A and B are shown apart, each in its own frame.
Chain A
Amino acid sequence: ETAVFQTPNYHVTQVGNEVSFNCKQTLGHDTMYWYKQDSKKLLKIMFSYNNKQLIVNETVPRRFSPQSSDKAHLNLRIKSVEPEDSAVYLCASSKWAGGPNTEVFFGKGTRLTVV
């Protein structure tokens, strides 16, 4: 049963465009994440967000930015997409505010294709 909801499921866009993906969790969790899953299925953390504290993976390009209105929502914006941004973006959440030492629940992902 999904409790982390992502929209859209798929998005195709051209190089240079801006895109935004939405994520909402109904679990009452304190921490939310964005992961990128590439064509080889590798899962890489991009951002963690808790109590308005953002932690960024330093390898993430600056054109990516998370946006949160409250602890149940964490959106992802990509300014000026590039071909290597084609991937599945997975939103996730976990309960503990101290870090992911409890179960992390994933959404079903948004598949981005940059043409």
Chain B
Amino acid sequence: GEQVEQLPSILRVQEGSSASINCSYEDSASNYFPWYKQEPGENPKLIIDIRSNMERKQIQELIVLLDKKAKRFSLHITDTQPGDSAMYFCAASPSSGSWQLIFGSGTQLTVMP
């Protein structure tokens, strides 16, 4: 079945700098790639997603890139703020007929003031 690898597991950056998280997947037919942010004690919340018909999407300071040939996608947070500190998960939705969102193992991001 689909597997999603996520790196790094821990990321510390200075406030105002950029943070990048990378994910790779195995199923070339996967067509939906969401990113979730989970703060301590809270539920994971969708922050941005990208579908297989796109290569790049930006919402404010969040940029996602998708390279279908390499089966890789990434999240870039520009101008990080302390409020960006959280656990981030990438996920991939395998080809139709499967109901599962397969999550990466998570990245603990800390933005240092």
User: Footprint of B on A, CB under 8 Å?
Assistant: 2, 4, 31, 33, 40-45, 48, 50, 55, 57, 90, 98-101, 103-109
Residue from A41, A57, A99, A109 in contact with B106 in the complex, judged by beta carbons closer than 8 Å = A41
Contact of B43 with A by CB under 8 A: yes
Contact of B103 with A by CB under 8 A: yes
Do the beta carbons of B87 and A98 come within 8 Å of each other?
no
User: Footprint of A on B, CB under 8 Å?
Assistant: 31-32, 34, 36, 38, 41-46, 49, 51, 87, 89, 93, 96-103, 105-106, 108
Give the distance to chain A from B23, nearest Cβ to Cβ, in Å: 13
**B contact residues around A100 at 8 Å (CB):** 32, 93, 99-101
Do the beta carbons of B101 and A104 come within 8 Å of each other?
yes
From B108, which residue of chain A is reached at the shortest CB distance?
Answer: A41
Q: Report the separation of the CA atoms of residues A43 and B36 in the bound assembly, to the nearest whole angstrom.
A: 11
